[in-house]
Structure 1
C-alpha cells in the first residue's frame, strides 16, 4: 500500500460495527491500493489499529465541519472518496465531504435520516404526494413536558408510541396502551428528553420490513419483532416472503423515503410497515447507512453480492452495480437471549460458537433437514462486560449474542427455524455455562436483592 498516496475517508461508525469497517478498509487496500483516514469523536486504541490515520472530532459538534476540515489538512488533497457510516454523522459527515469536494448524497436533506421528528415534518410537507402512493403519514409531535404528553394522549385515546427522536436499536421505544401510566412513561424516557422525545400515532399495520440497498439496487428484508410494550427486533429474514404486489408497495414507500432524505447513490435502510392487504405502507424510519443486524452479511450469502465492496467501488469511482439480484437460499439474523433474568459475562467466542452449532444441529433434527442444509454464517457475543440481562428484552442490548444462519431447503419456512433456534439456544446457554459463571450469577442475584 502507498502510504503517501490516495486515501479513503471514513466518517464515524458505531463500535459494534468495527468488523465491517475493517472489511471495507481491507478491500480498499487490496482493490485500490488506498489507505484509510478515520474521523470520529473520542477515538481510542481500537480506532488507531483500525486505520492508517486518525482524526478525533465529534460529528455531533456544531463546529464539526470546520474542525474536521482543518484537521484533515495533511490528507485533503489525497482523499479519493469518502463514506459516512453512522447516524450521528449522516448530516455533518455529508457536509464535510461536500466541502472537500467529494461525491456524496445531499447534506441539506440528511437531517431527516437522523431525526425522526424532522422526517415526519418532511412527510407532512408532502402528505398529498405520499397519500397518492398509498403511504400513510402518522401524526407526530415533539414533547418537552407532561402537559405536552397529556395533550397528545387525549387526541389518541386508542394508544400511541413514545420514543427518542434520535436514537437507534429500538432503544427507548415504548408502546402506550389505554390505561398506561403517562408519568411512568415520561420517567422512562427522561434520559432522552434533552435530545428530543416524540409521540407518534400508532401505525395500524402489523407486518414490518426494511427496504435495503445501495444506489438503485434494493432488496426487502422481513423484520421479526416481539409484541407488547417493548417492540424489540429478534430476527431479520431474507428474502422477505412477499408476493410481487406487496414488494411493489414497499418499494414505493422506500423510494419515497429516499427522496425525502436525499439518498441517491449511497446506502439506505428504511423500516416500513405493510397493511394486511398489501396495498398500503408507512415508513417507521429512514436511514442513510447500511442496515444493522448484519443484513448486508445475509445479502452476501443469499445474493452472492458484497454490498460493502459495492459501496467502496461507488465512492472510489470504479466497478458497477448489478441490475438484478437472484436468491440462492434463505437466511436470517437471530438475536440470542437468556432463559431467565441473570447476570452474564460472555465466555470465549469458541465456546459460544460450539453452543450455537449444537443449537443448529438440534433445530435441523427437529425439522428433519438433510445434513448441510442449515448452516452457520456468523456468530458473535454482544458486549464483553459483566452485565445484567433480562429474559424480556427492552432493546437490542438486552441480548447476549447475535448469529446468522442460511437455509438451503425450500420445504421449511425460515421463520420457524428462527423460533426454534432462539428456544434451543436459551437451553444450550443455560446448560453450557461453566460452574464458576453460574456461581457468580447466584452471588450477583443475592447482592442485588440485598
Structure 2
C-alpha cells in the first residue's frame, strides 16, 4: 500500500530545521512521505524531503507546473501546508485545487503584500476605529515626489518599507523634517516590487498575536530604537494585564478575518498604546512566527506547535488553548561591536560563546547560572559579509539564541538586556584573537 503524502509548499532557508522536524513527525505519527515544492531545489532540500517539485510560487504558472510534475501522483497527497510568505497566496490556491483543507486563497494576498493589507484594512476602517484600532494613513510610493508629498501631511514622521520583503529589509523610519531624498534612495531598489509609506504608529510597545487555528498566544517584541527599528528579541509570556491582552486579541482576530485565516498558523504584529489600550496593526502573516517563537512556546507551555500543525492538516483534533506557562523564554539576536566584514566560520564555536555570555549575564544579575537554560543557538549565516554595529535589518546580526529562564524572581527582560550587552564584550574578546583569555565578568 502506498504511503500518504504531506505536501510542503516552499520554505525560507532559515526554517530548514523546522521542515525536517515536521517531516519526521509526519513519518512517525502518520506514516507519511513529505514532498517539497521549492524553486530550483538544492541537495539540502532532498535531505529534508522524500520528493522535490521544482516550481516558483511567485510565477504565474506555478499551479500548472506543480500539477504537471505531480501527474497521477496528485491523488496521493493527503495533506498540505504553506510555509513561506512568497507562497501564501499561490500555495493556498494549489492546496484548494488539490481538494485539501487550507485557509482562504482569495484573501491570502493581504498576508503577503503590505499595501494590499492596508487597502483591505481601510475598507473596514470605521468599524476598526470603534474597536480602538488606529488605521494609519498610507500611500504607494513610485517616485521621490510621492515621498515628499506624503511627508507634508505627516506630523509625527512616517515609515517607508517594501511591500513584500521580510526580516525588516528596507524599512526606514523618517522623522519629521528629515531628508526624504536619502530615505527614498534606501528603498529605491525595491520599487519594482512595490514600496509603501505609512504614518508612524505612535505606540511604543509591540507584540505579536500568534497561534494555530483557534489556539492563540501573545509574544512581546523588543526592537531597536532610531532610524532602523529592527527586531532584537522576542519574549514569552508577554507582559500584559487582562485588558491589554483582550485589546490585542480583538484586533488580532479582525486581522485573521481580513486575510482569510481560519485553520492554519498566524503571526500578526500589533502595537499597543499604554495610555488607553488602543492598538494598530504593523503587519499580518499567515505562517508560523519567525525568530523561533514557536520554539519559545514549546519551552514555556510544553506544546509542540509544529507537530500540532501537521496533525491538524491530517484532520486530527488539536488543543484550542495552551497549558499554563512553566517558565519565561526569549529569542535574542546578537550583533558585532563595530562595523566589520565577518565570516562566522572563523569566529569559533557559537555554543561556547553563548554559554560564556550566559554565565557573565547571570553573574551580573545575581541569577543562578543553571536557572538560564540555552534551548538552541546558531550563527545566522556562513557567508562572508559586511555587518553593521547598528543593525539595519536582520542580516546585521551574526548569531541567534533561545534561552529559558527558570527563576520566578528574575525578569526575562533584564536578562535579555544583559545578554545582548555581554555578548558584545565576549565578541570583542574573540575578535581580538584571544579566545582563550577569559576576562572577568
Residues in 1 aligned to 2:159 and 2:136: alpha-carbon distance in whole angstroms: 11
Cα offset, 1:322, TM superposition:
4.1
- Paired residues for 1:9-48 under 5 Å: 9-48=7-46
Contact 2:38-2:53 within 8 A present in 1 as well: yes
In 2, the alpha carbon distance for the partners of 1:136 and 1:178 equals: 20
When residues 323 and 349 of structure 1 are mapped into structure 2, their CA distance, relative to the original with a 3 A threshold, is farther
Partner of 2:313: 315
Report what 1:103 is aligned to: 101
In structure 1, C-alpha distance between the alignment counterparts of 2:149 and 2:249, rounded to whole Å: 35
Alignment of 1:17-416 (within 5 A): 17-347=15-345, 351-416=349-414
Residue in 1 that maps onto 2:438: none
Contact 1:48–1:54, Cα closer than 8 Å, also in 2: yes
Unaligned 5+ segments in structure 1 are 438-450
Q: Deviation string for 1:187-245 (max 9, x for gaps)?
A: 11111000000110111111000000100101100000011100000000000011111
Q: Distance in 2 between matches of 1:109 and 1:256?
A: 13
Asked whether the 8 Å contact 2:335–2:399 carries over to 1, the reply is yes
Is contact 1:349-1:380 (8 Å) kept?
no
C-alpha separation in 2, matches of 1:429 and 1:75? 51
Distance 1:371 1:147 in 2: 55
* TM superposition shift of 1:362: 1.1
How far, CA to CA, are the matches of 2:259 and 2:311 in structure 1?
A: 23
Deviation, structure 1 residue 347:
2.8
In the other structure, the counterpart of 1:442 is: none
How far apart, CA to CA, are the structure 2 residues paired with 1:138 and 1:147?
20
Distance 1:319 1:57 in 2: 32
Q: Secondary structure at the match of 2:253?
A: helix
**CA deviation after TM superposition for structure 1 residue 371, in Å:** 4.2
Structure 2 runs not aligned, ≥5 long? 436-441
Q: How does the TM-score come out when normalised to structure 1?
A: 0.94
Distance, in Å, in 1 between the alignment partners of 2:271 and 2:76 is 43
Deviation at 1:74?
A: 4.0
Does the 8 Å contact 2:161/2:197 carry over to 1? yes
Q: Map Cα deviations across residues 92-119 of structure 1 (whole Å, 9 max, x no partner).
A: 0000000010000000000000000000
Distance 1:320 1:203 in 2: 36
Partners in 1 of 2:299 and 2:87 — Cα distance? 29
C-alpha distance in 2 between matches for 1:351 and 1:50: 25
Tell me if the contact between 1:12 and 1:38 (Cα under 8 Å) persists in the aligned partners: yes
Q: Distance in 2 between matches of 1:49 and 1:16?
A: 15
For 1:43 and 1:208, the matched residues in 2 are separated by: 36
Q: Could you say if the C-alpha distance between residues 349 and 96 of structure 1 is closer, same or farther in structure 2, counting changes exceeding 3 Å?
A: farther
Task: Give the CA deviation at 1:178.
Answer: 2.0
How far off its partner does 1:278 sit?
Answer: 4.8
Report if the CA contact (8 A) 1:113-1:288 is conserved. Answer: yes
For 1:68 and 1:214, the matched residues in 2 are separated by 26
Q: Do the aligned residues in 2 keep the contact of 1:377 with 1:403 (CA within 8 Å)?
A: yes
TM-aligned CA deviation for residue 158 of structure 1: 2.9
> In 1, distance between residues paired with 2:432 and 2:238?
38
Task: Provide the secondary structure at the position in 2 that maps to 1:326.
Answer: coil
The DSSP-based 3-state class of the residue aligned with 2:366 is: coil
Aligned positions, number: 435
Distance, in Å, in 2 between the alignment partners of 1:371 and 1:93 is 45
Q: Distance in 2 between matches of 1:64 and 1:330?
A: 42
CA contact (8 A) 2:301 2:322 kept: no
1:149-203 Cα distance to aligned partner (Å, 9 max, x none) = 1111111143111100111111111000123211111111111000000110111
Root-mean-square deviation (Å): 1.5
**Partners of 2:208 and 2:220 within 8 A in 1:** yes
Q: SS at the partner of 2:344?
A: coil
Tell me, yes or no, if the aligned pair for 1:164 and 1:172 is still in contact at 8 Å.
yes
TM-score between both structures, scaled by the size of structure 2? 0.96
